[in-house]
Structure 1
């Protein structure tokens, strides 16, 4: 299986959808596509250049979250590969056609047919000369499931892991043809989560300036580290602003 494109999907409860889309559109520096889907529940955050790699969805039940869309030539054969590696099918959607799958640790992602997306969008240059882009999904994994989950993602994507500055963080080797990278994080022993979840990461040239811009839009700082800051958006969704290179993701 070859991954042709990766999309990060933000899933919002219906009562939060409008306000959340407004915030994330502003943070991404994008416009919003016309809605689509049987219930007009999907939209893309359209960059000013390149193909979309961020999409939003209104969900009718549950708290929402983050999931990945893997764009492939044949979603059904890719699903069979995922099942052989320990994944399970959550739902086979007829319209629009895609298959929802849960990884061994329970992180839900979708396999969709590739529609020719290939052009990465460029980072946005903001007033004050900060450059940033939303370019990574971090999968947060319960400690006891971490080893199995890492094995699944490396084998399924064909991307080996690379170490980072923190022992609990492993990065899948970046495919620079794709606009989104994947980071695998082992949760701490006090984390009570029983399944893997996800959050978005931004790459920014000046984390402090980027944080201030997000605070102007209603986000707040949760925790600060030497090379990244944990944020909470106006509805409480957590994400990170990191000091990685916005052009390369490294």
Structure 2
């Protein structure tokens, strides 16, 4: 299975959709594509250069969340590979160009038809010279499921794992042709969740300046660490601003 492109998709309930799209458009420095889909429920956050790697979706039920779209040549064939590695099918809509699935730990992802996306967008330089880009999905995994989930994503993507300076974090070696990387985080032993969830990470050259810019748009600081700051967007969705190279993701 060859993953041609990765897209992170933010899922919003209807009553949050408009304001949340405005927030994420602003902090990513994007424009919003015309809506598409049978219910006009999808849109892309269009970068000023390169192909989109962020999408927004309006959902009819539930609190929303985050999922990954894996762009492949044949979604149904790719689904067979994913099932062999431990994934399950939620909805087979290969005739419409996608198969919705869950990982062994319950993280949602879609296998979608590749439409030729290939041009990575460049980070944005903001007033004050801070450079940033949303470039990573962090999959937050219950401790008991972490090892199996890590093996699954390494097998599905074909990317070897790389240790980090923190034992609870594992990278999948980044594919330089893709705009999105994947990080796996083992949740603490005191976390009682039974399924994996996910959040977005932004790479930037100056975390304090980037945090202040996000606060101006209505985000708030949840916690601070030496190399990243945990944020909550205006409706409480968490994400991280991280001290990584915006051009390489490292």
TM-score by length of 1: 0.99
CA RMSD of aligned residues (A): 0.8
Q: How far 1:21 sits from its partner (Å)?
A: 0.0
What is the SS of the residue equivalent to 1:222?
strand
- Once residues 111 and 84 of structure 2 are traced to their aligned partners in structure 1, the CA distance between those partners, rounded to angstroms, is 15
Gaps of at least 5 residues in structure 1 are none
- Contact kept in structure 2, 1:154 and 1:160, CA below 8 Å: yes
Determine if the alignment matches structure 1 residue 52 to structure 2 residue 52: yes
- CA deviations on 1:87-133 (whole Å, 9 max, x unpaired) are 10001236742100100000010000111000000000001000000
The aligned residue for residue 117 of structure 1 is: 117
What is the SS of the residue equivalent to 1:15?
coil
The aligned residue for residue 144 of structure 1 is: 144
- Once residues 26 and 64 of structure 2 are traced to their aligned partners in structure 1, the CA distance between those partners, rounded to angstroms, is 20
The aligned residue for residue 2 of structure 2 is: 2
- Once residues 204 and 33 of structure 1 are traced to their aligned partners in structure 2, the CA distance between those partners, rounded to angstroms, is 25
What is the SS of the residue equivalent to 2:210?
helix
- CA deviations on 1:36-74 (whole Å, 9 max, x unpaired) are 001100000000000000000000000000000000111
- CA deviations on 1:4-50 (whole Å, 9 max, x unpaired) are 00000000000000000000000000000000001100000000000
- Contact kept in structure 2, 1:38 and 1:95, CA below 8 Å: no
- Once residues 62 and 96 of structure 1 are traced to their aligned partners in structure 2, the CA distance between those partners, rounded to angstroms, is 23
- Once residues 122 and 64 of structure 1 are traced to their aligned partners in structure 2, the CA distance between those partners, rounded to angstroms, is 28
- Contact kept in structure 1, 2:13 and 2:59, CA below 8 Å: yes
What is the SS of the residue equivalent to 2:189?
coil
The aligned residue for residue 183 of structure 1 is: 183
- Once residues 192 and 25 of structure 2 are traced to their aligned partners in structure 1, the CA distance between those partners, rounded to angstroms, is 31
The aligned residue for residue 105 of structure 2 is: 105
The aligned residue for residue 76 of structure 2 is: 76
- Once residues 4 and 24 of structure 1 are traced to their aligned partners in structure 2, the CA distance between those partners, rounded to angstroms, is 24
- Contact kept in structure 1, 2:134 and 2:203, CA below 8 Å: yes
- CA deviations on 1:158-203 (whole Å, 9 max, x unpaired) are 1011111111000000001000000000000011211000000000
- Once residues 8 and 140 of structure 1 are traced to their aligned partners in structure 2, the CA distance between those partners, rounded to angstroms, is 15
- Once residues 56 and 68 of structure 2 are traced to their aligned partners in structure 1, the CA distance between those partners, rounded to angstroms, is 11
The aligned residue for residue 210 of structure 2 is: 210
What is the SS of the residue equivalent to 1:177?
coil
Change (3 A) 1:207 1:19: same
Alignment size in residue pairs: 250
Change (3 A) 1:96 1:25: farther
- Contact kept in structure 2, 1:104 and 1:148, CA below 8 Å: yes
- Contact kept in structure 1, 2:75 and 2:94, CA below 8 Å: no
Determine if the alignment matches structure 1 residue 89 to structure 2 residue 101: no
